[in-house]
Amino acid sequence: MSEATSPAMLVVWGGFILAFVFGAVANKTNFCTMGAISDVVNMGHWGRMRMWLLAIAVALIGTNLLHYFGLVDIAKSVYQRPSIPWLSMLFGGALFGVGMTIAAGCANKNLVRVGGGSVRSLVVLTFLAISSYMTLKGLFGQWRSSYLDPVAIDLSTLGLSSQGLPHLVAKFTGTPEKVALLATTAVVGLGLMLFVFKDKRFRSNLSIVLGSMLLGLLVVMAWYLTGHLGYGENPETLETVYFATNTRTLESMSFVAPTAYSLELLMLWTDKTLRITFGVATVLGVVLGSFAYAVSTRQFRWEGFASMDDLRTQLIGAVLMGFGGVTAVGCTVGQGLSGVSTLAIGSFIALTGIVGGAVATMKYQLWRA
Handedness of CA 276, 302, 325, 38 (dihedral sign): negative
Burial category of 114 from C-beta neighbours within 10 Å (exposed 0-12, middle 13-18, buried 19 and up): buried
pLDDT at 368 over 90: no
- Alpha-helical (H) ranges within 106-205 are 107-115, 119-137, 139-143, 165-173, 177-185, 191-197, 200-203
pLDDT at 4 over 60: no
pLDDT band at 1 (very low <50, low <70, confident <90, very high): very low
Q: Let me know how long the chain is.
A: 369
Report the Cα 81 to chain-centroid distance in Å: 17
Give the model's pLDDT for residue 159. 87
Q: Which of 250, 193, 186 is nearest to 216 (CA)?
A: 193
In the chain, % helix, strand, coil (3-state, to 5) comes to 70, 5, 25
Give the model's pLDDT for residue 3. 55
* Contacts for 182 with CB less than 8 Å, ≥ 6 apart: 64, 68
232: β partners: 241
| DSSP assignment string, 205-235 | -HHHHHHHHHHHHHHHHHHHIIIIITEEE-T
* Contacts for 256 with CB less than 8 Å, ≥ 6 apart: 96, 107, 128, 132, 321, 322, 325, 326, 330, 331, 334
pLDDT band at 21 (very low <50, low <70, confident <90, very high): very high
pLDDT at 260 over 50: yes
Helix axes 119-137, 308-327, angle to 10 degrees: 40
- Give the type of residue at 237: T
303: β partners: 118
pLDDT band at 234 (very low <50, low <70, confident <90, very high): confident
- Tell me the mean pLDDT in the region 19-26: 98
Asked if 262 and 254 touch (Cβ cutoff 8 Å), the reply is no
- Tell me the mean pLDDT in the region 232-254: 90
pLDDT in tens, 33-89: 999 999 999 999 999 999 999 999 999 999 999 999 999 999 999 999 999 999 999
| Nearest-10 Cα torsion for 337, 339, 344, 349 | -80
Give the model's pLDDT for residue 5. 58
- Give the type of residue at 87: L
d(CA 126, CA 120): 10
Give the model's pLDDT for residue 315. 96
Percent of the chain with pLDDT strictly greater than 90: 92
pLDDT in tens, 165-197: 999 999 989 899 999 999 999 999 999 999 999
233: β partners: 240
pLDDT in tens, 268-295: 999 988 999 999 999 999 999 999 999 9
Average predicted confidence (pLDDT) for the chain? 94
Q: Where are the beta strands (DSSP E) in 6-100?
A: 83-84
Give the model's pLDDT for residue 235. 79
- Tell me the mean pLDDT in the region 107-136: 96
pLDDT at 354 over 60: yes
Report the Cα 266 to chain-centroid distance in Å: 22
pLDDT in tens, 287-345: 999 999 999 999 999 999 989 999 999 999 999 999 999 999 999 999 999 999 999 99
Percent of the chain with pLDDT strictly greater than 70: 99
